Structure 1
Amino acid sequence: MAMRRAIACALKKSVTATSTNLTSFSSPFSRNLHSSSDSKKIVGVFYKANEYASMNPNFVGSVEGSLGIRDWLESQGHHYIVTDDKDGPDSELEKHISDLHVLITTPFHPAYVTAERIKRAKNLELLLTAGIGSDHIDLKAAAAAGLTVAEVTGSNVVSVAEDELMRILILVRNFVPGYQQAINGEWNVAGIAYRAYDLEGKTIGTVGAGRIGKLLLQRLKPFNCNLLYHDRIQMDPELENQTGAKYEEDLVKMLGKCDVVVINTPLTEKTKGMFNKELIAKMKKGVLIVNNARGAIMDTQAVVDACSSGHIGGYSGDVWYPQPAPKDHPWRHMPNHAMTPHISGTTIDAQLRYAAGVKDMLDNYFKGEDFPPQNYIVKEGELAPQYR
């Protein structure tokens, strides 16, 4: 009961985001999203909470919590299957690909929805992301197949922006070596202080200034930094004034000015591997990088090499490729990093918001009603602008 009340409360408080303009057309290949009110087979792919599942009644983003919607779905006659087993031909997900109608997954434990899987999913109509970021889906294949792809836009932007601010401070203040000294019984102030700085007066640039980027800039303003941003769309003057941020049309020029770079751009064909050896070389020596966007935006080995040489003074983020990251992923062992598993957007507060958003969209789906426009990533064969 407490969980249901929390989800209901979260739904009322859900972020109201600005609409994403989708130029829609009627595709001859579109699958009828609202073809009937018959029972639907819905599969959710989430991470397992294991022993932590019982420690918080609002831990709904896990296999055990199942977004808190099982009773509601089953009371309406729908079949709801939840698993964390998502990879390979013998996975639990693969067993259901051929006849599922809806697939719900998250960026934190993504089920990679390839063109091959879409081809085999003859009954699939709807792909929902519980959270933000649908790049684990082959969006072009989904559009060609007439599928609808949607996410809970705005559900965890506060969570990610707060996490980015934390990571900036961790890198600037050289926190991780100090923590390691504390747990190892050491005391060597010089070993930390020689590369610890104040945030005030530093130049910080965000690559991408969408919902998360704007929130980060607003939170950085009180630190009296020099704030820059690069984006395909310039903010309106009032918002620029509120954030104190200056627009930089030329990405390379902006990167060359920055002491700290924060990546807030979606993963697309254009941004995949964008931060390669050549681009990193154009950044300041000792630059600090925070990336909570997507791991594949970075050239993995280029980051390792630059951290090892000192060209990157510190790298922190919670996104990897693939996810979960294998034990031998080189970012686990490179110097001067402050990496974590993908956690920034799955706080308990964020879970309640994206669980409420998924429930709301499923309710619309069953009723044959549209979703909020900003939630669509693929609609009637057309991709949202940020993924084109």
Structure 2
Amino acid sequence: MESYSAASLASASHLIMSRARFSLLNNVMAEEELPGVLILDIGGTHGVLEDLAALLKKHFHLITMKEFLGNREEMSKKIQSVFVFECRPTIDRELLESLPNLKVIGNSGVGVDHLDLKMISSFGVKVTNTPHAVADPTADIGMALMLASARRLVEGCQVAVSPDTKYFAVDWLGVEVTRATLGIIGMGSIGYKVAQRARAFNMKILYHNRNRRRKEEEEAVGAHYCAKMEDLLQQSDFVMLVVNLTPETHKLIGKKELGLMKPTATLINISRGAVIDQEALVEALQNKVIRAAALDVTYPEPLPRDHPLLNLNNVIITPHIGTATVQAIRMMAEEAIANILAVLNGQPIPSEVFPK
């Protein structure tokens, strides 16, 4: 058996440690050479999920807001992009003024109402979003809310598990989705995905949109265009809101619009809370102007714990989970990364958002 002297073992150990330090130094240098991206934090209540942070680290030198604020002068030069996750970090004028090399804000998600596009653009900074990753899961949640509300799923679950339940009432009834009329307000990529799903339920599909879809697109899902939103509201058993929040769509559905709906109709919102006048909705639900509402979004989020919407039995509220799936969150991050890298490398940008 071959033997080694103490000196040779010490030398080998020193060589291994030196290589390890060299490898670590190389990794640090490689990370420093990557373009800097600002994020709020990693993990915690509002930070980027650990898995997404690992994905970002493959392409960027991650700088948290705490690190940035702790060494603003040095970090500000390194930051070329911001990754916005769950509307954080907040992009305000003060932050933009402190990032001289910022080129792009990559928003993870399709909605950008939390970003002042005109102000950001005035700094020469581009904004991108992730429309492709969100369409399927958001359409899924729209269908889930419609079915849950129609069949009183949440109430039914509560009855079934309640310690006070002794029997199931025979007159406890919901309504059917199959062959009902669905009115979709906002026929973009998500709205169209909803129509594709609704067709499988043999629903009659009406839609209202700023621009009419091509005839072949309408025929593919059996959708009928309503030039006037009022016509859609009057005819639909279910009305689903799938619009972006803009000054034009703020409180798009108010007392007048709710009054046009059938008393047996259900309002479903998978867009943004402020698209609905919530005070008018509370009144409509309390007075049975409409049958029910199913909301994945409210204003604010979450609602104050004493908000009247939380005490009504004809409303379902979920915590803005339209894109809250393992697959969607990762796809949004990948899409945001592709957008950011395209800007930094001077390539065509897959999903740029322009100020209006």
The Cα offsets for residues 258-281 of structure 1, whole Å up to 9 and x where unpaired, read as 110000111111101211222222
Could you tell me which of 190, 197, 203 is aligned with 1:219? 197
Alpha-carbon distance in 2 for matches of 1:165, 1:97: 46
Given that 1:286 and 1:313 are in contact with CA atoms closer than 8 Å, whether structure 2 keeps it comes out as: yes
**1:105 equivalent in alignment to 2:84:** yes
1:80 to 63, 80, 102: 63
Q: Percent identity?
A: 25
Query: Which residue number corresponds to residue 50 of structure 2?
Result: 64
- Please identify the structure whose Cα radius of gyration is greater: 2
Report the counterpart of residue 264 of structure 2 in structure 1. 286
Distance (whole Å) between structure 1 residues aligned to residue 162 and residue 180 of structure 2:
31
Alignment partner of 2:147: what SS? helix
User: Cα distance 1:70–1:287, how it changes in 2: closer, same or farther (>3 A)?
Assistant: same
Equivalences, count: 319
- In 2, the alpha carbon distance for the partners of 1:321 and 1:330 equals 13
Using structure 1 for the length normalisation, give the TM-score: 0.73
In the alignment, does 2:121 pair up with 1:143?
Answer: yes
Letter in 1 for 2:84: T
For the residue of structure 1 that corresponds to 2:115, the secondary structure is: coil
- How far the C-alpha of 1:321 sits from its partner, in A, is 2.4
Q: Which residue of 2 aligns with 1:42?
A: 37
| Structure 2 spans left out of the alignment, 5+ residues | 1-31
The alpha-carbon distance between structure 1 residues 39 and 144, as it changes in their structure 2 partners (threshold 3 A), is same
What is the distance in 2 between the residues matched to 1:162 and 1:310?
Answer: 27
Within a 5 Å distance, the mapping from 1:1-388 to structure 2 comes to 40-45=35-40, 48=43, 62-73=48-59, 78-81=61-64, 99=76, 100-106=79-85, 108-114=86-92, 118=96, 122-185=100-163, 186-187=165-166, 189-190=168-169, 193-194=172-173, 196-372=174-350, 375-378=351-354, 383=355, 388=356
Higher relative contact order (CA 8 A, sep 6+): 1
**CA distance 1:366–1:376, shift in 2 (3 Å):** closer
Distance across 2 between alignment mates of 1:142 and 1:206: 32
Secondary structure of the residue that 1:65 maps to in structure 2? helix
Instruction: Quickly say closer, same or farther: Cα 1:46–1:71, change in 2 above 3 A.
Output: closer
Consecutive unaligned residues in structure 1, runs of 5 or more: 1-36, 51-60, 84-91
Q: Distance in 2 between matches of 1:96 and 1:199?
A: 57
Q: Which runs of 4+ in 1 moved over 6 A?
A: 92-98
Provide the rounded CA distance (Å) in 2 between the counterparts of 1:46 and 1:334.
37
Partners of 2:97 and 2:251 in 1: CA distance: 27
Please, which moves more after superposition, 362-371 or 252-261?
362-371
- Measured in 1, the distance between the counterparts of 2:68 and 2:306 equals 25
